[in-house]
């Protein structure tokens, strides 16, 4: 579901996930302190500069930083939803969700959205007014107590990332263009929010030589795809149907995994290329990047001729996509798409709503799948969902890889719902949705000892035993080489970072230009952490666990005896930025 034109950050849903990742990233590591400014205005300016550095792009135009009360937030949300394009979007989406019995006939989608976001938003970026607003009393802002250390910086850097990307790629236009298609809108939201989640996490870890691109950080981010937040989120957003809640939250989780897949391998330049060359058009590309996005996937276009709607007026059409299928099949639970393996076979779907003379809606849902087994699984689960969901006059028909579902309060033309579904399959027109050849599909499904994965225009490589024994990958400006899943050896390099390590990283050297840190370690012998540049540079080093010698930029000790200490530096005001204004 579109999160309005405002790029919002849920102060509870996302904040519940972030602490787990931050604790995992920073656990057991000696952090390097930041030079904290004295007041909130300077702190905000510092966070903006941090976001620019981490994202690798400067803010191309000024923005305002403003404080809002919850009452003002409600007004801002209402103003956004009253825009003509959003009124149309919400109206069509409400009709669609009522047809799928996600909403009850008496529910008001706009009211639900305002209620949920009014309670959950801690801060947001407004691309029309070019401002970042933080909400009084929501926590994690410049005037409130943060729920956990680093959350305040996470929130600000997250929202500043939206401002930076909007100034370069026009997020408002992209969001507006995606409105007619629910699946496309969720895919775009996943890219935008996924990027901001990663930048926010890296910002919160700015005091340590760590970020979400390192092996342990990437592993923790990957857990987001399997995160089960049902109990936590349902308790915080009472009254919001699980389908809507999943549409609001999953883009943050799945989007972070997808963006990190590209960013970690090829750098932030690969994320820039998403906006400039080809944005994902479907959530299937977000959920299954190797199988869909990197293969240049194009979803199938499914159509029904006018003859199918004889005597009925077409009301609306839309696409749920792989994520929408998972959320709908979840029913009263907050679904996790990673638990539905058959979704990897999604090639396209289209929902058609038509209205009879009596005003009653009929829904016809066409889907196309890569394998007959995928279609069979979907048909079985969809039949159970229709039976358990109180749908009237429903029918399911399958023909090979195509499945049609129909339901209505009254079967049209006197025919049964199953016959109506078979008629839809007979008349359906399918364009695109190409799939790999039979031999290639079989080879991809078998546990081959050796593979040579190749993604046109992106990378090619070699895998032994599924990549667990050896994995070699290279593309324009980047490469990766691992032995024994990195336990034996790992070497990675792209324009943003490099990593060389052995023995699970016990022996390693890391350099990251975006997070501005250098870290090397020789087991039991010596370590070196360095962060920042120029006057802001901080470093710490130890020899023989510090027993022989240790020090930092201010002092050094040998055998615990002080041998050097820097003279106290004159204090000076932190540098100002012209981008942020109180």
* Interval 10-66: pLDDT, tens: 444 454 455 445 544 444 344 565 555 556 778 888 899 999 999 999 999 999 888
* Alpha carbons 324 and 393: distance in angstroms, whole number: 22
Rg (CA), the chain: 26
Mean pLDDT across the chain, nearest whole number? 84
* Residue 148 backbone dihedrals phi, psi, to 5 degrees: -155, 160
Question: What CA–CA distances, in Å, run from 581 to 50, 64, 145?
Answer: 16, 5, 22
Burial of 559 (0-12, 13-18, 19+ CB in 10 A): exposed
Q: Check if the beta carbon of residue 539 is closer than 8 Å to that of residue 553.
A: yes
Q: Check if the beta carbon of residue 196 is closer than 8 Å to that of residue 47.
A: no
Percent of the chain with pLDDT over 90: 47
Closest-CA residue to 574 (of 32, 40, 31): 40
pTM: 0.89
Identify the sign of the CA torsion 296, 464, 369, 339: negative
For residue range 375-405, list pLDDT tens digits in order.
999 999 999 999 988 888 899 999 999 999 9
Per this entry, what is the length of the chain? 582
Give the pair of three-digit tokens for residue 190. Answer: 């996943």
Identify the sign of the CA torsion 51, 55, 58, 63: negative
Q: Which of 47-56, 173-182, 232-241 has the lowest mean pLDDT?
A: 232-241
* Alpha carbons 364 and 352: distance in angstroms, whole number: 5
* Alpha carbons 220 and 213: distance in angstroms, whole number: 10
Closest-CA residue to 424 (of 446, 407, 441, 449): 407
Check whether 445 has a pLDDT greater than 70: no
- Give the number of C-alpha atoms closer than 13 A to the C-alpha of residue 444, restricted to the C-beta side: 13
Could you tell me which residue, 417 or 436, shows the higher pLDDT?
Answer: 417
Q: Residue 501 has what pLDDT? A: 93
Helix axis angle, 242-266 relative to 182-204, nearest 10°?
Answer: 60
CB atoms within 10 A of CB 368: 25
Start-to-end Cα distance in the chain? 32
């Amino acid at each position: 579901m579109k999160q309005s034109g405002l790029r919002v950050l849920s102060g509870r849903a996302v904040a519940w996930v972030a602490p787990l990742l931050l604790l995992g990233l920073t656990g057991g590591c000696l952090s390097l302190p930041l030079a904290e400014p004295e007041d909130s205005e300077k702190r905000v300016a510092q966070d903006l500069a941090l976001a620019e550095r981490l994202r690798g792009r400067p803010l191309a135009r000024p923005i305002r930083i403003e404080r809002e009360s919850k009452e003002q937030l409600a007004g801002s949300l209402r103003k956004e939803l009253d825009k003509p394009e959003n009124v149309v979007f919400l109206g069509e989406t409400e009709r669609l969700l009522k047809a799928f019995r996600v909403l009850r006939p008496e529910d008001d989608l706009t009211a639900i959205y305002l209620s949920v976001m009014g309670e959950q938003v801690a801060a947001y970026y407004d691309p029309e007014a070019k401002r970042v607003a933080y909400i009084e009393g929501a926590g994690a802002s410049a005037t409130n107590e943060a729920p956990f250390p680093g959350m305040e910086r996470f929130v600000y850097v997250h929202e500043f990332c939206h401002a930076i990307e909007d100034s370069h790629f026009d997020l408002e236009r992209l969001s507006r263009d995606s409105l007619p298609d629910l699946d496309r809108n969720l895919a775009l939201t996943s890219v935008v929010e996924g990027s901001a989640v990663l930048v926010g996490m890296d910002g919160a870890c700015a005091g340590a030589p760590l970020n979400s691109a390192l092996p342990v950080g990437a592993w923790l981010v990957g857990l987001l795809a399997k995160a089960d937040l049902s109990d936590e989120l349902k308790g915080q957003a009472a009254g919001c149907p699980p389908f809507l809640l999943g549409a609001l939250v999953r883009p943050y989780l799945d989007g972070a995994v997808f963006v990190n897949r590209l960013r970690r391998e090829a750098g932030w330049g690969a994320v820039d290329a998403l906006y400039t060359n080809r944005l994902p058009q479907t959530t299937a590309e977000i959920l299954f990047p190797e199988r869909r996005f990197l293969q240049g996937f194009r979803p199938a276009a499914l159509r029904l001729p006018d003859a199918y709607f004889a005597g009925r007026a077409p009301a609306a059409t839309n696409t749920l996509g792989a994520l929408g299928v998972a959320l709908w099949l979840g029913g009263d639970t907050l679904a996790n798409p990673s638990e539905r393996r058959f979704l990897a076979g999604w090639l396209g779907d289209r929902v058609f709503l038509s209205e009879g003379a009596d005003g009653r809606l009929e829904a016809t849902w066409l889907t196309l799948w890569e394998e007959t087994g995928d279609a069979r699984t979907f048909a079985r689960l969809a039949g159970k969902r229709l039976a358990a969901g109180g749908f009237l006059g429903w029918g399911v028909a399958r023909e090979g890889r195509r499945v049609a579902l129909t339901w209505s309060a009254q079967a049209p033309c006197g025919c049964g719902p199953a016959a109506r579904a078979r008629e839809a399959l007979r008349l359906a027109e399918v364009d695109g949705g190409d799939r790999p050849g039979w031999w290639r599909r079989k080879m991809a499904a078998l546990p081959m000892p050796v593979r040579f994965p190749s993604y046109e225009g992106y990378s090619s490589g070699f895998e032994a035993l599924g990549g667990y024994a050896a994995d070699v990958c290279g593309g324009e400006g980047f490469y990766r080489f691992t032995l024994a899943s990195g336990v034996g050896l790992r070497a990675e390099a792209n324009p943003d970072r490099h990593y060389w390590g052995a023995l699970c990283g016990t022996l390693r050297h890391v350099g990251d230009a975006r997070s501005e840190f250098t870290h090397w370690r020789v087991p039991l012998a010596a370590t070196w952490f360095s962060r920042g540049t120029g006057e802001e540079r901080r470093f710490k080093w130890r020899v023989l666990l510090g027993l022989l010698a240790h020090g930092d930029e201010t002092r050094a000790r040998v055998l615990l005896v002080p041998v050097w200490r820097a003279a106290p530096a004159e204090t000076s005001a932190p540098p100002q930025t012209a981008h942020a204004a109180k």
